[in-house]
Amino acid sequence: MKTIATYILSTAVIFMVTLSCEREASNVELPGFEQKLVITSFISPRDSASFVKVSSNERIYGDLNIAEGYGNLTVTMSDGQKRIDLEPSGDVYLFRRKDLAVAHGKKYLLEVSSDKGFRAEAECTVPQKRDLAISVDTVRTWYEYPGGNRFSELEMNVYLNDPPGEDNYYSFSVKVLDYNPYFGTYPYIYETYTSDDIYFSDEGNDGKRIFANAVYNGGLPKDSDSTLFIFYILNTDKDYYSWHKSLNKYSGGDDPFREISPAYSNITGGLGIFASYTVDSIAYKLR
């Protein structure tokens, strides 16, 4: 009898909890939605054309099916002496070097406005041109399968000379061009993996020879001496660095207890990023 009573009581508790979970909250006030323009643009003297992507933030509460339009846009770019209107091209706005050159050490102002009253702006200064004296130290380890088939693993440590007396921010990438006949007449292009964060600064290493990253490429066949590695190091402004670092935190990573932080923005009156960079590179041919 006691067992039956316990069962009835447990069932009643579960039923009540289920009802309470399905009850709608009618006295909760949702946060207000403030629509803003969202801008994404990166400029560099290296590029023949620069692009500005403009969109709008979206609701995360209430009726998510409501699309907030931002009207007809006017996008301008200025270097302090010349001001131009950017031309629309699909979902971006662009300008070419013949219209406005992007020069090392120069400041640029981006302004976006709409006929619905939205307005946002941002500025950035392109880093000075620097010779980073990039170098690569390599270690190639050979392995042999039973039967005589050989392959290798390549470790490449990349270094740069940091310009002294200034704060510098960097981004690292590598492109691999494999001319192995196995892939046909055209090179097989891909990116291999690195050991460290690709965004770093010279904090604590001003003016020193600093380590940029380690690159690994495994399973290379014995006849892969035509493989070409191109290492790129971007010397960026602080906003470029801060925005990309904040994206790593925003994603949350693999740690479920990691604090999620808002993405960095340098847009006044809106959200997003307007930043600049220069590029230095070195090519290494596998021998």
Rounded Cα distance, 46 and 235, in Å: 12
At 16, the pLDDT band (50, 70, 90 cuts) reads very low
Rounded Cα distance, 212 and 275, in Å: 21
Predicted local confidence at residue 225, as pLDDT: 62
Predicted local confidence at residue 222, as pLDDT: 60
pLDDT tens digits, 51-72? 999 999 877 666 656 667 888 9
Predicted local confidence at residue 114, as pLDDT: 95
Rounded Cα distance, 16 and 10, in Å: 10
At 193, the pLDDT band (50, 70, 90 cuts) reads confident
Give the torsion through C-alpha atoms of 173, 176, 177, 183, to 10 deg: -140
Rounded Cα distance, 87 and 205, in Å: 42
Question: Two tokens at 38?
Answer: 């969202």
Residue 233 CB-density burial (10 A; 0-12 exposed, 13-18 middle, 19+ buried): buried
φ, ψ for residue 6, nearest 5 deg? -65, -40
Q: What does pLDDT average to over the chain?
A: 84
Q: What sign does the dihedral 146-148-149-152 (CA atoms) show?
A: positive
Rounded Cα distance, 112 and 125, in Å: 18
Predicted local confidence at residue 9, as pLDDT: 47
Which residues touch 9 (CB under 8 Å, ≥6 apart)? none
Which residues touch 32 (CB under 8 Å, ≥6 apart)? none
Rounded Cα distance, 55 and 51, in Å: 13
Given a cut of 80, whether residue 24 has pLDDT beyond it is no
Per the CB < 8 A criterion, the answer to whether 122 and 111 are in contact is: no
Given a cut of 90, whether residue 149 has pLDDT beyond it is no
Predicted local confidence at residue 107, as pLDDT: 98
More confident of the two residues 219 and 240: 240
Looking at residue 62, its amino acid is G
The secondary element (H helix, E strand) that includes residue 10 is: helix 2-22
Query: Mean pLDDT, to the nearest integer, of 272-284?
Result: 96
At 220, the pLDDT band (50, 70, 90 cuts) reads low
Given a cut of 70, whether residue 10 has pLDDT beyond it is no
Confidence (pTM): 0.81
Predicted local confidence at residue 8, as pLDDT: 44
At 31, the pLDDT band (50, 70, 90 cuts) reads low
Rounded Cα distance, 65 and 52, in Å: 26
Query: Mean pLDDT, to the nearest integer, of 241-260?
Result: 71
The residue among 122, 123, 77 whose CA lies nearest residue 101 is 77
Query: Mean pLDDT, to the nearest integer, of 144-163?
Result: 87
Looking at residue 63, its amino acid is D
At 183, the pLDDT band (50, 70, 90 cuts) reads low
Rounded Cα distance, 170 and 278, in Å: 10
More confident of the two residues 200 and 219: 200
Report all structural domains of the chain as residue ranges with CATH numbers, in order of start: 37-125 (2.60.40), 135-238+275-285 (2.60.40)
Rounded Cα distance, 178 and 285, in Å: 10
The secondary element (H helix, E strand) that includes residue 246 is: helix 238-251
Query: Mean pLDDT, to the nearest integer, of 157-164?
Result: 97
Rounded Cα distance, 192 and 215, in Å: 7
Q: Which of 32-41, 142-151, 234-243, 268-277 has the lowest mean pLDDT?
A: 142-151
Question: Two tokens at 269?
Answer: 């009156």
Which residues touch 253 (CB under 8 Å, ≥6 apart)? none
Looking at residue 136, its amino acid is V
